[in-house]
Structure 1
């Protein structure tokens, strides 16, 4: 009886599929989770770089105007979860504008499984202000 049970091949594919499906789904959904994070992170970085360029072209712009320029480039993100900081720093006689932004996105369904934090995306750009 046991010999006949172990020799029976019916249902083999279903059992193998049941073992492989969770692993495949984790990899597949992880790709989407990581891609979403990278899109947000690149958007934040792009916004800070564009705001630094705006400050370079408009050296008399206030920090609020530079911050608004950064936010204008990140309109696809939730404004309530976005913080933008603009500072003017003097280094060796040259004034630089430093634009930093942080966006906290909602935790995804797989965020806890990655070895890095996929909920906070940051961007930073530094540009000289030449009169």
Structure 2
């Protein structure tokens, strides 16, 4: 595993976290009715999710599944399971209410899967951090 792929995964980690945090803050704010609670949940997730996301990227680098939409869908599902569990636990701890944690996590399952899939497809078409790249026709 080259240093180049690590740079790519770090870049993907930061871009995804920006998208994911904004989504979490907005959902948490809407569900709790409190913008400060939304910000707290979002800020705690910045740390936990960046670590989890980076580890998820490194694990998927080892999985030898042909680059395709199927790979992106499987990656989306595996990441969402990890991410939702993290959101539920953090939301429960911050609000003190397990039902609020479940509500926030339930909404995020839908919004985050859509956003993550779009993020993966976007990064699949970006060459940053790749030593060599197959042609676009070979990737689709």
Structure exhibiting the larger radius of gyration computed from Cα positions: 1
TM band (smaller chain):
0.3 to 0.5
Higher relative contact order (CA 8 A, sep 6+): 2
Higher helix share: 2
TM-score (norm 2): 0.35
TM-score (norm 1): 0.37
